C-alpha cells in the first residue's frame, strides 16, 4: 500500500473551489490552502469585491492581498451557459466548494448544491450566509457589522456610559472563516467513512452566538444580564488599561488573588493589606479608587520598562501595541505569524501566517495571493483544454486571464479619458 505524499501539508491531494468573496468564505478557503489543499479561487470578470476596496499596492488592493494567499486564480463568466459547462468539468475534480452567493443568483450561476452535485456526487458544499439558509431573515444581505447588532455584541462593546462600538477588526468574519475550515475537515472525515458528501450552511449570526457562550450563555443560565464594562472585568479587579510616563499604555489584569499580590509586589505597594482592596469583592466595590492608585504608579515608568518589571514579577500584563509594534513583536515573529511570499509583480509581500503548527505534516504559505485570472490558462489546460480551445474561451468572453482583463481595463480607462476630454 503506497503512502500518500503529505510533504505539501496534511490536506495534500485535495482540491477546493473558492467561489466566495470578501472575508469569511475566502479566508476559510485560505486556511485549507495553507494546510496543503489545491485551492482555486474562481472569480467573475469583475472579481472578488475585496479587489476594489482599500489601499492599493500596484494594481492590487490590501484587503485582497491579505486574505487570499495559498490559492490559484481562475476567471469564468458563469452568467453564460457555455462557461457553466467549463465549470462542470472543473467541479468534477473538486472535493470542497465554498461560496457565499445568495439565491436566486446561486441557482442562475449553476452553483446550488444539487446542481454542483450533478458534477461531483460526493462534493462537500459549504455556503456562508449572514443569517442562515432559511428562517425569517433568510436571503437578506448582511455583513459582520449587522451580525454584531443582531447578537448584542454592539451593546457589550465600549465604555459603560458611551455609545455602542463595533469590534475594531472583522471578528465575526474571522470566526466564521475558522468554522468554514472546521466544517470542511469534519465533512471530509464523514465522507471517508460513508462515501457521501454533503451540504453545509454556516452563518455569521450563528458564529457570533456561538462565540458568546460566556455572556449570553451566562444570562440564559442565571438571568444575570451582561453589562458593558469598557476595559474592566465584570468579575474581578483590577483589570484595565493604565497609562505610562511616555504617553503609552499597558494592560494589567488579575483573575485571582495571587495575581493581585504580584501586582502589589511589582509596584512596591501594600494594597493587598488595605481593607478596601483586600479581596476581589472589596476591590470591585472600590474599583475607581484602585484604578486611580494603579495609574499613579504606572505613570512613573516608561511602557517597556514597566512591562519588563511586571513580567519579571509574573503579572498578567501586556503592552498596548500600535500596528508598527505588532509586526515587530518577537513572539509574533518567532511563531511565524508574519511570513513573506514573492509576488510576480509586487515582489516580496508579507502576509499573516498559519495559526496551526503541525509537527508531523508541516504547513506553510506556499503561494502568493493570485492576480485575477493568473492561472486561468494553466487550470484550463489541466482540465484537458488545448491551447486553441483556451484561446477561443477567452476570445468568446467565457474565461479570462490576467492579460485579457488588463486589456479590458485599459480599454475602459481610455474610453473614460476620451469621454472626459469631449
Tell me: do 157 and 191 sit in the same domain. yes
Spatial separation of the C-alpha atoms in residues 24 and 100, rounded to whole Å? 9
Give the Å distances, CA to CA, from 62 to 2, 65, 246, 340, 403: 43, 5, 32, 15, 21
Tell me: do 40 and 172 sit in the same domain. yes
Tell me: do 140 and 71 sit in the same domain. yes
Spatial separation of the C-alpha atoms in residues 352 and 243, rounded to whole Å? 30
Quick one: pLDDT at residue 4? 74
User: Any idea what DSSP says for residue 102?
Assistant: P
| Number of domains within the chain | 2
Quick one: pLDDT at residue 306? 98
Quick one: pLDDT at residue 328? 96
- Give residue for cell 492561472: 375
Quick one: pLDDT at residue 304? 97
Tell me: do 295 and 338 sit in the same domain. no
Does some domain include residue 167?
yes
Centroid of chain to Cα 324 = 20
Which residues constitute the domain of residue 380? 15-211+333-410
Q: How many CA atoms lie within 13 A of 30 on its CB side?
A: 28
Quick one: pLDDT at residue 7? 87
pLDDT in tens, 204-253: 999 999 999 988 998 999 998 888 888 999 889 999 999 999 999 999 99
Quick one: pLDDT at residue 2? 44
Spatial separation of the C-alpha atoms in residues 52 and 44, rounded to whole Å? 13
* CB 303 within 8 Å of CB 319: yes
Does some domain include residue 88?
yes
Tell me: do 181 and 294 sit in the same domain. no
Query: Which residues are catalytically annotated?
Result: 173
Of 274, 294, 319, which residue is a domain's last?
A: 319
Spatial separation of the C-alpha atoms in residues 27 and 379, rounded to whole Å? 21
Does some domain include residue 1?
no
pTM of the predicted model as reported, rounded to 2 decimal places: 0.93
Tell me: do 143 and 40 sit in the same domain. yes
Q: pLDDT under 50 in the chain at which residues?
A: 1-2
Quick one: pLDDT at residue 421? 86
Amino acid at each position: 500500500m503506497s503512502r500518500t505524499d503529505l510533504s505539501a501539508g496534511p490536506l495534500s491531494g485535495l482540491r477546493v473551489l473558492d467561489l466566495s468573496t470578501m472575508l469569511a468564505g475566502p479566508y476559510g478557503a485560505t486556511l485549507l490552502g495553507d494546510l496543503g489543499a489545491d485551492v482555486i479561487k474562481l472569480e467573475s470578470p469583475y472579481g472578488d469585491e475585496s479587489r476594489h476596496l482599500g489601499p492599493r499596492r500596484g494594481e492590487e488592493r490590501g484587503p485582497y492581498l491579505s486574505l487570499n494567499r495559498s490559492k490559484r486564480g481562475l476567471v469564468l463568466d458563469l452568467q453564460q451557459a457555455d462557461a457553466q459547462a467549463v465549470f462542470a468539468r472543473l467541479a468534477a475534480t473538486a472535493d470542497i466548494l465554498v461560496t457565499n452567493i445568495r439565491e436566486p443568483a446561486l441557482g442562475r450561476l449553476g452553483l446550488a448544491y444539487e446542481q454542483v452535485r450533478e458534477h461531483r456526487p460526493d462534493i462537500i458544499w459549504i455556503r456562508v450566509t449572514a443569517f442562515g439558509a432559511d428562517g425569517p431573515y433568510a436571503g437578506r444581505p448582511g455583513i459582520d457589522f449587522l451580525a454584531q447588532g443582531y447578537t448584542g455584541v454592539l451593546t457589550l462593546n465600549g465604555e459603560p456610559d458611551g455609545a455602542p462600538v463595533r469590534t475594531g477588526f472583522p471578528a465575526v468574519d474571522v470566526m466564521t472563516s475558522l468554522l468554514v475550515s472546521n466544517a470542511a475537515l469534519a465533512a471530509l472525515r464523514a465522507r471517508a467513512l460513508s462515501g457521501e458528501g454533503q451540504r453545509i450552511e454556516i452563518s455569521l449570526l450563528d458564529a457570533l452566538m456561538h462565540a458568546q457562550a460566556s455572556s449570553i450563555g451566562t444570562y440564559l443560565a442565571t438571568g444575570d444580564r451582561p453589562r458593558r464594562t469598557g476595559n474592566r472585568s465584570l468579575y474581578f479587579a483590577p483589570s484595565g488599561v493604565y497609562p505610562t510616563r511616555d504617553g503609552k499604555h499597558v494592560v494589567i489584569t488579575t483573575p485571582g488573588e495571587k495575581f493581585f499580590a504580584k501586582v502589589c509586589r511589582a509596584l512596591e505597594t501594600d494594597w493587598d493589606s488595605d481593607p478596601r482592596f483586600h479581596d476581589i469583592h472589596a476591590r470591585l466595590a472600590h474599583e475607581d479608587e484602585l484604578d486611580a492608585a494603579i495609574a499613579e504608579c504606572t505613570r512613573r515608568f516608561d511602557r517597556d520598562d514597566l512591562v519588563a518589571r511586571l513580567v519579571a514579577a509574573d503579572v498578567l500584563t501586556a503592552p498596548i501595541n500600535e500596528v508598527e509594534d505588532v509586526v515587530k513583536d518577537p513572539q509574533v515573529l518567532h511563531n511565524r505569524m508574519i511570513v513573506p511570499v514573492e509576488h510576480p509583480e509586487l515582489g516580496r509581500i508579507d502576509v499573516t501566517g498559519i495559526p496551526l503548527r503541525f509537527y508531523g505534516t508541516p504547513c506553510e504559505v506556499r503561494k502568493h495571493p493570485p492576480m485575477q485570472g493568473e492561472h486561468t490558462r494553466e487550470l484550463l489546460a489541466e482540465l484537458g483544454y488545448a491551447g486553441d480551445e483556451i484561446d477561443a474561451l477567452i476570445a468568446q468572453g467565457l474565461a479570462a486571464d490576467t492579460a485579457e482583463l488588463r486589456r479590458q481595463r485599459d480599454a475602459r480607462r481610455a474610453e473614460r479619458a476620451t469621454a472626459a476630454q469631449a
